Amino acid sequence: MSIAKVIELTASSSISVEDAVKSGLAKTAETVKGIQGAWVNEIKVVTDPQGNITEWRVNLRITFVVS
């Protein structure tokens, strides 16, 4: 029987939502082994005063198997 755990984190990127997700997963994988998947819970943007997007932020829930 396997036991899974879910952690929640926020990652960001100035490039795209996809890049924010990838960087969040990559950073998590440095210390967490057995990642099974991720759920994008929320997407936010940061804008400059003219309304241009300067940063993408994602709230992730990452599932991994506890060894």
pLDDT confidence of 1, banded at 50, 70, 90? Answer: confident
For residue 1, which amino acid is it? M
Prediction pTM value: 0.89
Residue ranges per structural domain of the chain: 3-66
Place of tokens 């029987």: 1
3-66 classified as CATH 3.40.50.510: no
The answer to whether 33 touches 17, Cβ cutoff 8 Å, is no
Q: Is the pLDDT of residue 2 over 90?
A: no
Question: Phi then psi for 34, rounded to 5 degrees?
Answer: 80, 30
Q: Residue 67: what pLDDT?
A: 84
36: alpha, beta or left? (left if phi > 0; alpha if psi -120 to 50): alpha
Confidence tier at 5 by pLDDT (50, 70, 90): very high
Read off the pLDDT of residues 11-51 as tens digits, 9 standing for 90 and up: 999 999 999 999 999 999 999 999 999 999 999 999 999 99
The length of the chain in residues reads: 67
- Give Cβ neighbours of residue 27 (< 8 Å, ≥ 6 apart): 11
